[in-house]
Structure 1
Amino acid sequence: MGIVRKPSIRSYWHKNPILATPLFPRVMKRERYENLMRFLHFNDNALCPPRNDPMHDRLYKIRPLISLMSAKFTDNYVPDQNISVDESLMKFKGRLLFKQYIPSKRSRYGVKFYKLCESTTGYTWAFRIYEGKDNHLDPPGCPDCIGTSGKIVWDLVYPLFNKGYNLWVDNYYTSIDLFKNLYCFETLACGTVRKNRRGFPQILTAGKRSRGSSSSLRQEEVLALRFTDKKDVYMLSTVHDESTVPVPVRGRTEPLEKPKCIVDYSKFMGGVDLTDQCIQPYLVNRKTRAWYKKIAIYLTEIAIFNAYVLYKQAAVQKPYPFLEFMLEIISQLILTPAPVTSALESGDL
């Protein structure tokens, strides 16, 4: 339904030749589909701890699926050296305690996902769902000094410690304390930083600079840098030195010398955005008050894209586009006849 879009669910079973889609009534009756969606559950609600219980889980309704997807995403793929952490918003406008409003996102209202993705392919290797401010995150071995945003990064990245990864983050997560602690576990990091972040050298923020100028300071393994283009850009990095590279600029005959950390940041930071861009045209955006069903569908779409990344890497010939890949999955699931098994093989005897 993310590929063939119609104004309502019932339109998919409409008999009007203008709206008719023969595949849907051929596969399943409308009443059966509606009943399946109505009674779709992923956990036993009767066993859910009450809200005043210390063991209460706000994601209890969907927790088994989250655990399954998380395990499959990490077990079936080893990301390349460059990984990025960023947030993504699943559109949801119903009533929900941990619903977020992020005006910079296209959806604006929804459920926030923190994702760790491979920078070059967009493969989602790990994810966490935001559960509210009062949800205390305590990942293994995490120091208290890195703050809440740092704990999010730590929780996603710690299974990859001591393996030589380069991590790319934006200014919400970047801090000197986080980068120093990651460095101790052979995980280098680079990201934009807010100029008022604790520990950032204020000498770099003072005064106005001409366009194209850069200045930097280094303390042990951490490089702090300011570069002035159309506006000031502040960076922290344990990956780079102060070197610059020429970058072509539209309307100028001579290239602009930019710090290499900024060029690499632009190249490797977009892993999460790449995933969102690929699945956005095919998202199933149906209104529902059952938030856990929307999360289940969204996780399924992420899983399909992850499978597409694996397919592209294993393909001997030119791989299908993502749309063709999804159509092939649909064809295999609902158009290919199920194999006939004997009663003995099926366990009915």
Structure 2
Amino acid sequence: MAEMKRFIAMGFVVQLDISEYWTTSVVNSTPFSPSVMPRDRFWLLMCFFHLANNNGQLRRGNAGQNPLYKLGSLYKNIVCSFGTVFRPHQHLSMDEEMVPWRGNLSFRVHNPDKPKKNGIKAYMLCDAVTGYCLRFKLYTGKSGTPDCANGYHDRKVVYLLSTIEEAAKAPCGRVAPRTGTTIENPAIVNAFKYMGGVDRSDQMVSGDVL
């Protein structure tokens, strides 16, 4: 168990390539990694690292098949732990994020409009002030729209959830160019200024924010 903790701790330091954890270059060397685990031992554990018993996995297309089965209970434990160690501010941000991945995966997505065009799509709930990720859910396929969502049409249909704002509409500060009438949107749209939490979380993971 102690060795597996050291194996997981290697991820505390981010390198562009796994081999760089043991590089002797003066510029890129990380003394932490060699002190935790030798390179050959790390590669051996990486080859046989599993979080679930493959014999219990249902094949794709069978009823009850779980696309995230190989993540075992670790995925659920991590998701639940995120929200217990930090008390968020009042305003939260919920948005989608792309986790880069080019391997063979049935629910891998390609979005040419994103900076990270290939990977796993994740829905994230983050603190709007700090960018801390409170919850996230990996996208594994299409599903229906929640019944509790409130939808309105801007350039396309947008579904909104709120426990603060009501469904009543309010002026948004814009005027329709053809009719000159004041445009009204649901009051929750006024809270869009707090939607930067997920973007800030992504910047922190990428190392763009100190």
Paired with 1:63 and 1:81, the residues of 2 have a C-alpha distance of 32
Paired with 1:16 and 1:118, the residues of 2 have a C-alpha distance of 38
Show the 5 A alignment for 1:244-255. Answer: none
Distance verdict in 2 for CA 1:73–1:12, change over 3 Å: closer
On the 8 A contact 1:84/1:271 being kept in 2, the answer is yes
Paired with 1:173 and 1:67, the residues of 2 have a C-alpha distance of 31
Tell me how far 1:45 sits from its aligned partner: 1.2
Partner of residue 158, structure 2: 174
Tell me how far 1:85 sits from its aligned partner: 1.0
Partner of residue 35, structure 1: 44
Partner of residue 223, structure 1: 170
Partner of residue 7, structure 2: none
Tell me how far 1:237 sits from its aligned partner: 2.8
Partner of residue 297, structure 1: none
User: Which amino acid letter does the alignment assign opposite residue 223 of structure 1?
Assistant: A
What runs of 5+ residues in structure 2 fail to find an aligned partner?
Answer: 1-10, 176-182
Partner of residue 131, structure 2: 122
On the 8 A contact 1:113/1:130 being kept in 2, the answer is yes
Partner of residue 60, structure 2: 51
Tell me how far 1:122 sits from its aligned partner: 1.1
User: Which amino acid letter does the alignment assign opposite residue 203 of structure 2?
Assistant: Q
Query: Secondary structure of the residue that 1:110 maps to in structure 2?
Result: strand
User: Which amino acid letter does the alignment assign opposite residue 174 of structure 1?
Assistant: V
Tell me how far 1:171 sits from its aligned partner: 7.3
Paired with 2:26 and 2:129, the residues of 1 have a C-alpha distance of 44
Paired with 1:84 and 1:172, the residues of 2 have a C-alpha distance of 20
User: Which amino acid letter does the alignment assign opposite residue 187 of structure 2?
Assistant: T
On the 8 A contact 1:174/1:236 being kept in 2, the answer is no
Tell me how far 1:75 sits from its aligned partner: 2.9
Tell me how far 1:52 sits from its aligned partner: 3.1
Show the 5 A alignment for 1:269-288. Answer: 269-281=195-207
Distance verdict in 2 for CA 1:47–1:235, change over 3 Å: farther
Partner of residue 187, structure 2: 238
Structure 1 residue aligned with 2:165, among 188, 191, 194?
Answer: 188
Tell me how far 1:115 sits from its aligned partner: 0.8
After superposition, give the CA deviation of every residue in 1:223-259 in whole Å (9 maximum; x if it has no partner).
364626xxxxx7733258xxxxxxxxxxxxxxxxxxx
Paired with 2:75 and 2:37, the residues of 1 have a C-alpha distance of 27
What runs of 5+ residues in structure 1 fail to find an aligned partner?
Answer: 151-169, 190-219, 229-233, 241-260, 283-320, 323-349
On the 8 A contact 2:169/2:184 being kept in 1, the answer is no
Identity between Structure 1 and Structure 2 (%) = 29
What is the TM-score with the length of structure 1 in the denominator? 0.46
Distance verdict in 2 for CA 1:239–1:100, change over 3 Å: closer
Between Structure 1 and Structure 2, which shows a larger proportion of strand residues? 2
Partner of residue 83, structure 1: 92
Distance verdict in 2 for CA 1:76–1:235, change over 3 Å: farther
Compute the RMSD of aligned alpha carbons.
3.5
On the 8 A contact 2:124/2:136 being kept in 1, the answer is yes
Partner of residue 180, structure 2: none
Tell me how far 1:278 sits from its aligned partner: 1.0
Tell me how far 1:13 sits from its aligned partner: 3.0
Show the 5 A alignment for 1:300-311. Answer: none
Paired with 2:99 and 2:155, the residues of 1 have a C-alpha distance of 21
On the 8 A contact 1:2/1:281 being kept in 2, the answer is no
Distance verdict in 2 for CA 1:12–1:121, change over 3 Å: closer
Q: State whether structure 2 residue 192 is matched by structure 1 residue 265.
A: yes
User: Which amino acid letter does the alignment assign opposite residue 237 of structure 1?
Assistant: P
On the 8 A contact 1:224/1:236 being kept in 2, the answer is yes
After superposition, give the CA deviation of every residue in 1:97-120 in whole Å (9 maximum; x if it has no partner).
111112232111110000111111
Query: How many residue pairs get matched?
Result: 191
Query: Secondary structure of the residue that 2:207 maps to in structure 1?
Result: helix
User: Which amino acid letter does the alignment assign opposite residue 84 of structure 1?
Assistant: S
Between Structure 1 and Structure 2, which shows a larger proportion of helix residues? 1
Rg larger in structure: 1
